Amino acid sequence: MTKPSRLPELRLLTPAEWQDYELLDSGNGETLERLGPYTLIRPEPQAVWPRGLPESAWKSADAFMVTTSGEHGGYWQFRHPIKQPWVINYKGLKSEIRLSKSRHIGIFPEQASQWDWIDGQIRSAKRPLKVINLFGYTGMATAAAARAGAQVTHVDASKHAVSWASHNMELSGLGNAPVRWLIEDARKYLKREAKRKSFYDGIILDPPKFGRGPSGMVWSYLDNISELLALCRKVLSKTPRFICLTSYAIQASVLVPHQALQDLVKGMGGNISSGELVTIDKSQGKLLSHSLYSHWSSEE
């Protein structure tokens, strides 16, 4: 039986420099979070432990999400007035927060660790980099890459998300940064880029567990991630710098994206690191895992 040459060292990454975000408490399937001036309660099935703060702290939250169907559907109930949208700031990168019929609010706070890593990869390369951000959502990774000096192509199937991302760039003072905004299915676009022989030095991938493209194409992480990474290989430049992959299908195990990324960069050298993106509950010190990550960098 063939054994792996080296067992991967899996790490936990948590952003340490948020001022506008705090995970105040968690438990009983929910989180209590501060985003700028407001506190929100959101469903979180992984928070299976008891709450740390007293009930009075939870009842003082400005709004709470009531789930109705599926994993994310529901509606917000407000205990205190909230002026929407509002803006939060991470090291000068700004994003509007909006409450809708979902637990999603326009930002994934744990992703700040990814933005820092992307920034470091681009700045340390000491050369111009061409970067593509697939499933770019509201654009914080795009903003981080553009501010660090990269030329960025931002791809998302949602017109609403692309408009939101462009607005966040303006809020961050990056309205004139070299970013192309594309409303497109990621796989379709990669196929066209490969035919055009358009190549990238950095690839950011943040695919959902499940989604639909503008023409009805269905995306399923476990069914389609191998195809996506194979297409990414076709658009890598001759001197690629980095790949940043986030996976929300936590039940898949971090070994799935880690080994899939190993196959993508086979023969290219460099270094792969993988693990989980977590936030730390301030009341109890509990670690709450939100997603998996896998990084490849040409820098040994």
Residue that is last in its domain, among 68, 97, 126:
97
Computed over every residue of the chain, the mean pLDDT equals: 92
Residues 45-99: tens digit of each pLDDT = 889 999 999 999 999 999 999 988 765 678 999 999 999 999 999 999 999 999 9
Our count of domains for the chain comes to: 2
For residues 142 and 72, membership in a common domain is answered with no
Inside any domain, residue 286: yes
Residues 174-186: tens digit of each pLDDT = 999 999 999 999 9
For residues 206 and 133, membership in a common domain is answered with yes
Inside any domain, residue 125: yes
Inside any domain, residue 138: yes
- Identify residue 292 by its one-letter amino acid code: L
What Å distances lie between residue 31 and 7, 26, 105, 107, 218, CA to CA?
A: 34, 4, 14, 15, 30
- Written as one string, the DSSP assignment of 59-75 is HT-SEEEEE-STTTBEE
* Domain of 56, in residue numbers: 15-97
Q: What are phi and psi of 266, to 5 degrees?
A: -55, 130
Quickly state the pLDDT bin for 202 (edges 50, 70, 90).
very high
For residues 89 and 176, membership in a common domain is answered with no
4 Cβ contact list (under 8 Å, min separation 6)? none
Pairing mode, strands 86-90 and 218-220? unpaired
For residues 177 and 56, membership in a common domain is answered with no
